[in-house]
Amino acid sequence: MKVYISKYRDHWISPYTMLDYAFWWTDWSKCARDKSIRSLEEECQYVERPEWCDRWSDRLTPVSRVIQWVLDRVHPKIDYVKIDYWDTWSMDHTLSPIILPMLKQLKAAKHGAPFVDDEDVPDHLKSTAAPAKENEWDTDANHFLRWDWAMSEMIFAFECKTDDSWEDAFRSGEHDMLWVPVDRDGNEVPKGEHKHYQMKDGPNNTYKCDYEGMQVVEARIQNGFRLFGKYYQALWD
């Protein structure tokens, strides 16, 4: 598998930007360029662009479009994906180490949250468990907590998929297995007269596994994948 995806490239250069930099010595140009960092006092002294700027902006718009057309072809957005035939032998494992870091980055850098259904979260995070809203259109106090919880469950599921060492916590002891020759009815017989082999515990077998505990974790993993599918279109920042 080879994937090359560049970030979004916006090659549009506004006509007003051209005018700002062309007339850099003017007060209105300086104020326009420094608008994002002006203090409150400077905000009050903001100088509007002259009316002729609007007229020249219309004239410069075709120039901006030509520049954009050229830059779009010189530096196009890269979307290249090549899939090898072995990538789909175990596609769930192939995708997991790609999805996991993306989920972690999204969780750390997100600036909002979608609506997560009460049925998908624990009782203490449901909207019904939140304090009453001041206005009907407001989001409840648990709105963002529900999304944080859902994303944590997705991350947990993909972490377990990429590293199955979590299963070790439910296993103990050592394997000692014997292959016993048996007949068709399962009775032990001398080797050579057997029709099948039956696997039995050897004298030194101490292996134990908490299958019930493992099933609890597997159910949580499966739920994390379910949430990933249900809220797939909400995975954006």
Per-residue pLDDT tens over the stretch 52-108: 999 999 999 999 999 999 998 988 888 899 999 999 999 999 999 999 999 999 999
As a whole-number percent, the residues of the chain with pLDDT over 70 amount to 93
- Separation in Å, CA 79 to CA 66, 140, 231, 232: 23, 39, 24, 20
Alpha carbon distance, N-terminus to C-terminus of the chain = 26
* DSSP count for the chain of H helices, then E strands: 7, 6
Identify the pLDDT of residue 40. 47
Quick count: other Cβ atoms within 10 Å of Cβ 170? 16
How far is it, in rounded angstroms, from Cα 64 to Cα 1? 38
How far is it, in rounded angstroms, from Cα 205 to Cα 210? 16
| Lowest mean pLDDT segment, chosen from 17-21, 58-62, 90-94, 114-118 | 17-21
SS3 94: helix
Identify the pLDDT of residue 62. 94
Q: What average pLDDT does the segment 101-123 reach? A: 96
Identify the pLDDT of residue 32. 52
Identify the pLDDT of residue 7. 85
